[in-house]
Amino acid sequence: MSVIYERVALIGLGLIASSMFWAIKRSGLAGEVTGYARSAETRDTARRIGLCDRVCDTAAEAVAGADLVVLCVPVGAMGQVAAEIAPHLAAGATVSDVGSVKAAVIQAVGPHLPDNVHFVPAHPLAGTEHSGPESGFATLFDNRWCLLVPVEGTDPDAVVRLGRFWQEMGANVDTMEADHHDLVLAVTSHAPHLIAYTMVGVADDLRRVTDSEVIKYSAAGFRDFTRIAASDPTMWRDVFLTNKEATLEILGRFTEELFALQRAIRTGDGAHLHDYFTRTRAIRRGIIEAGQDTDAPDFGRAKAVR
Amino acid sequence: MSVIYERVALIGLGLIASSMFWAIKRSGLAGEVTGYARSAETRDTARRIGLCDRVCDTAAEAVAGADLVVLCVPVGAMGQVAAEIAPHLAAGATVSDVGSVKAAVIQAVGPHLPDNVHFVPAHPLAGTEHSGPESGFATLFDNRWCLLVPVEGTDPDAVVRLGRFWQEMGANVDTMEADHHDLVLAVTSHAPHLIAYTMVGVADDLRRVTDSEVIKYSAAGFRDFTRIAASDPTMWRDVFLTNKEATLEILGRFTEELFALQRAIRTGDGAHLHDYFTRTRAIRRGIIEAGQDTDAPDFGRAKAVR
């Protein structure tokens, strides 16, 4: 138990904020955690389940006296929230966020913040297909990466302190430059999500293949796409709108490659297909060796589902 | 324990055949199970781990006297194997397979078989990203679907008996017409696999985003694609080459839809994106209610991986 911040304010109380709260409590990382959500219903739920030591009815009240303020709202709402809390921030406080896009958040939030606070954007690479205040759990960040994207001129001590905070919540911490972050995430997250959404939408549209058949026979591969495509719609709308260029670039590469494989299928070029599929298998091995997934068949799900 | 076939011959000893063997043993469904694999190394492995009651050095020997013969080889090898075993089949035997494509298998296998055997093609919708004789396990088919695709004029008793056999191995059984099967599977399995292979290949190609970054930060969505894209290359090459038309048709629909979403991103049409993502979320709910996946966050993987 080592307190890193005296008072942490979580603005927005969804999956990430609620998991942060339980991870903070697990290791006693804060003296007090305040919370605020725009919707009264979410605040009621939070109070009912004991999420946050104190749930406030305004963002201003939540951030008052906090030495760490974390914006946990969809990327598209960050600017507005920053404008709302800026006059109420304590001098010397650190302001951070958990958005999946970094350049756009820095652009939206930065200009609102007073000079006497430290702005250290962050992005924990963790999540599930569930959302809302009741979906969080203390182990969400364990052995996941949290990327810190400090802007130029940030106090190094504030960065180190926030890094230690994330480590104590279970994460591995790295720093990265904003544009590079947005490109890496376009590859590892944003493009895969759009592709999964698309495939699930196509399946839903095909009237010759009834919905019930698609659902019944989903275990053949499709169901993994549906998990990804069940993620929070507002969060993902904002991700695509704010990481537009990198996402479109990766999707362009994807389409090019897909066309080459479609051509191989059409012309019956089995060697091309076999070579390609052999190469992709090696990447999976790397991910398991890096501790970022389980080697259990079917994610160990074979036993979990009856 | 109720014996359904006196002697079952498994031709090809990979993930599906080895899982069938353990499932047969779990419930005592066969008097004896013989096995054959083309590679001497696979046969040695099978003997070492006790896979099959008797591992034979030729397919002819394995099928001799069997009342059920199941072809468990890649779809592209089915015709050749059928030609090889045909002269050695017992009168009244049932011949089946486990291929992921049905019209092409029926076309390749059917002409070789003598009139005095029953041909009942089948497709268990179950698998993992692992392959080979050591990857099988008895519970692979539990609560998964097995589709029987009997050709016209098949003896109904042979179909019912094979259906009972699959049910006793844990599966739910349905029958379907071959072309419809190939279209449904193009949606639920073949197109998703090609898309996953493509995305993983794109990530591997991008030199600006190093391999180690893609692997390190894979948990953000990409790793689910890598699991699918780690499936057996030979099996999948054959699937695409033999279910060409349906796969290309679904990929065409997919590309069309992807372009519409890319356009929405480019033009900043947030409402279109939000509506689309909300619709796809409902499909996930249906799959969980149908018992085809777990509702545990992240497939329950959050706890499995440390």
Q: Is residue B306, in this structure, part of any structural domain at all?
A: no
- Same domain, yes or no, for B165 and B187? no
- Report the alpha-carbon angle B266-B272-B277, nearest 5: 110
Q: How confident is the model at residue A246 (pLDDT cuts 50, 70, 90)?
A: very high
Tell me the shortest Cα–Cα distance from B21 to chain A, in angstroms. Answer: 17
B88 lies in the same domain as B10: yes
Q: What is the pLDDT of residues A116-130, one digit of tens each?
A: 999 999 999 998 889
Q: What is the pLDDT of residue A88?
A: 98
Shared domain for A108 and A129, answered yes or no, is yes
Confidence (pLDDT) at B301: 58
Region A22-46: what's the mean pLDDT? Answer: 98
B47 and B158 assigned to the same domain? yes
Report whether pLDDT(A171) > 70.
Answer: yes
Range of the domain at B212: 180-268
* Same domain membership, residue B200 and residue B99: no
Question: Of B37, B219, B198, which is closest to residue A290 (Cα–Cα)?
Answer: B219
**pLDDT for the residue numbered B164:** 98
A279-301: average pLDDT: 79
Cβ(B75)–Cβ(B102) below 8 Å: no
Assign residue A208 the CATH number of its domain.
Answer: 1.10.3660.10
Does A148 lie in the same domain as A14? yes
pLDDT of residue B290: 83
- Phi then psi dihedrals of residue A30, to 5 deg: -140, 145
Res. A303 pLDDT band, cuts 50 70 90: very low
Residue B136 to residue B45: CA distance in whole angstroms: 13
Q: What is the pLDDT of residue B306?
A: 30
Confidence at residue A299, expressed as pLDDT on a 0 to 100 scale: 65
Question: In terms of domains, do B83 and B67 share one?
Answer: yes
What percent of chain A shows pLDDT beyond 90? 79
Q: Cβ B287–A223 below 8 Å, yes or no?
A: yes
Same domain, B189 and B244: yes
CB contact under 8 A, A294 and B304: yes
pLDDT score at B305: 38
Residue numbers of chain B with a pLDDT score lower than 70: 1, 299-306
**Best residue in B287, B303, B306 to probe A by mutation, most A CBs within 10 Å?**
B287
Q: Which of residues 226-245 of A touch B (CB under 8 A)?
A: 226-231, 233-234, 236-238, 240-241, 244
| Contact: B198, A258; criterion CB under 8 Å | yes
Look at the block and give the residue holding tokens 């759990």.
A137
pLDDT higher than threshold 60 for residue A100? yes
A107-162: pLDDT as tens digits: 999 999 999 999 999 999 998 889 999 999 999 999 999 999 999 899 999 999 99
Asked if A206 lies within 8 A of B253 by C-beta distance, the reply is yes
Q: For chain A, say whether B210 makes contact (Cβ under 8 Å).
A: no
Nearest to B280 among A201, A211, A255 (CB): A201
Of A176, A191, A226, which residue sits at a domain end? A176
Q: Is the pLDDT of residue A84 over 50?
A: yes
* Same domain for A230 and A126: no
> How much is the mean pLDDT over chain A?
93
CA Rg value for chain A: 21
Q: Is A157 on the interface with B (CB under 8 A)?
A: no
Question: Does residue A299 lie within any of the structural domains?
Answer: no
Q: How many residues does chain A have?
A: 306
Cα(B285)–Cα(B289) distance, integer angstroms: 6
Q: Which of A215, A273, A284 sits opposite B237 (nearest CB)?
A: A273
Contact B159, B70 (CB under 8 A): no
Judged by CB atoms closer than 8 Å, whether chains meet at B197 and A230 is answered as no
Q: Does residue B205 fall inside a structural domain?
A: yes
Boundary (domain end) residue, out of B176, B205, B237: B176
Pairs of CB atoms within 8 A across A/B:
374
Asked whether the beta carbons of A272 and A264 are under 8 A apart, the reply is yes
Q: Which residues pair with B11 in a beta bridge?
A: B36, B71
Residue A140 in contact with partner chain B when CB distance is under 8 A? yes
Q: What are phi and psi of B260, to 5 degrees?
A: -65, -40
Please indicate, yes or no, whether residues A166 and A187 belong to a single structural domain of this protein: no
Which residue in B60, B54, B64 sits closest to B83, CA to CA? B60
Q: Which of A144, A228, A298 sits opposite B221 (nearest CB)?
A: A228
Residue B247 in any domain: the answer is yes
What band does A223 get if pLDDT is binned at 50, 70 and 90?
A: confident
Closest CA to A294 of B221, B136, B232, B306: B306
Which residues touch A293 (CB under 8 Å, ≥6 apart)? A287, A299, B218, B219, B223, B226, B227, B301, B305
Q: Looking at residue B51, which CATH number applies to its domain?
A: 3.40.50.720
Domain shared by B110 and B224, yes or no? no
Domains in chain A: how many in total? 2
The mean per-residue pLDDT over the stretch A26-55 comes to 98
- Looking at A176, A200, A217, the residue that finishes a domain is A176
* Token pair for B74: 């890649």
Residue A284 pLDDT class (50, 70, 90 cuts): confident
Q: With 70 as the cut, is the pLDDT of residue A306 above it?
A: no
Lowest mean pLDDT, pick from A56-60, A294-298, B55-59: A294-298
Q: Is residue B300 part of a domain?
A: no
**pTM of the prediction?**
0.90
Q: Which two tokens stand for residue B289?
A: 């209610």
Least confident of A181-185, A277-281, B75-79: A277-281
Angle ∠(B56,B60,B64) on CA atoms, nearest 5: 90
How close, in Å, is residue B274 to chain A by CA atoms?
5
Top pLDDT among B302 and A103 is at A103
Name the residue in chain B with its Cα closest to that of A170: B306
Are residues A217 and B145, on separate chains, in Cβ contact within 8 Å?
Answer: yes
Task: Mark which residues 245-284 of A lie under 8 Å from B by CB.
Answer: 247-248, 250-251, 253-255, 257-258, 261-262, 265-266, 268, 270, 273-274, 276-281, 283-284
Assess whether pLDDT exceeds 80 at residue A210. Answer: no
Q: Is residue B290 part of a domain?
A: no
Same domain? B107 vs B225: no
Binary contact (B280, A226; C-beta < 8 A): yes
Q: Residue A264: what are its φ and ψ, rounded to 5°?
A: -65, -40
- Is A276 contained in some domain? no
pLDDT of residue A300: 61
Residue B13: inside a domain, yes or no? yes
**What integer pLDDT is reported at residue A301 of this predicted model?**
58
Cα B145 from chain centre:
11
Task: State the DSSP string of chain A.
Answer: ---SEEEEEEES-SHHHHHHHHHHHHHT-EEEEEEE-SSHHHHHHHHHHT-SSEE-SSHHHHHTT-SEEEE-S-GGGHHHHHHHHGGGPPTT-EEEE--S-SHHHHHHHGGGS-TTSEE--EEE----S--SGGG--TTTTTT-EEEE-PPTT--HHHHHHHHHHHHHTT-EEEE--HHHHHHHHIIIIIHHHHHHHHHHHHHHH-SSS-HHHHHHTGGGTHHHHHHHTTS-HHHHHHHHHHSHHHHHHHHHHHHHHHHHHHHHHHHT-HHHHHHHHHHHHHHHHHHHHTTSS--SGGGGHHHH--
